[in-house]
Amino acid sequence: MFFSTYEGAIDAKGRVSIPAPFRAALGGNTRVFIWVAPDGSGALEGGGEALMALYAETLAELPLQSPVREAFVTAVIAGSADLKIDETGRIKLPDDFCEVAGLSGRIRFTGAIESFKIWDPARFEAHRTRQAGIAQRADTLEAFHAAYNQVRKRRAAAQRGEAE
């Protein structure tokens, strides 16, 4: 899983070093997929083969002609760059991706549990500010609390089942 935030930089050749904890989250694989985040945030998103397999399985649940399926196939599956991590932990970001995300010089990697994002620092700060306001809303806190309680109930039931 991808957690935390890390600073980085793009070198003159467009290469970035993936933070060591993120490389570890890829399970030692040297293949990573990067795409323009479909959420409109202006970030790049990335993940490994396991995430792409999960996305493929999820998309296969949708009808072939589903507009949701087509949107995500186009944005993520067809829109991803299949990159190789070199021996020093670097990847070469596609120039057009960097242009769309406004990346040059300093960058930020942020964990998103199953995936990670690569941000222009100013865009990330604006995003963080927006998200902080959303996180403080009562409906957001209630939704998180409900999901949290569901997970706790599932875990408790699983523990009871193991003990029996």
Q: What does the pLDDT read at residue 164? A: 40
Would you state the pLDDT for residue 12?
87
Closest by CA position to 43, among listed 51, 34, 52 = 34
Per-residue pLDDT, 162 = 64
Distance between first and last Cα of the chain: 31
How many residues are there in the chain? 164
What is the structure's pLDDT at 161? 84
Residue 61 has a pLDDT of: 93
From 3.40.50.300, 3.30.70.2470, 3.20.20.120, 3.40.1550.20, which CATH number describes the 5-119 domain?
Answer: 3.40.1550.20
Query: pLDDT averaged over consecutive 10-residue blocks of the chain (164 residues)?
Result: 95 93 92 94 94 94 93 93 95 94 94 95 94 94 93 90 59
pLDDT digits (tens, 9 = 90+) for 81-114: 999 999 999 999 999 999 999 998 999 999 999 9
CA neighbor of 95 nearest in space, from 9, 158, 13, 39: 13
Half-sphere exposure of 162 (CA within 13 A, CB side): 6
Phi, psi of 27 (to 5 degrees): 70, 25
Domain extents in the chain: 5-119, 121-164
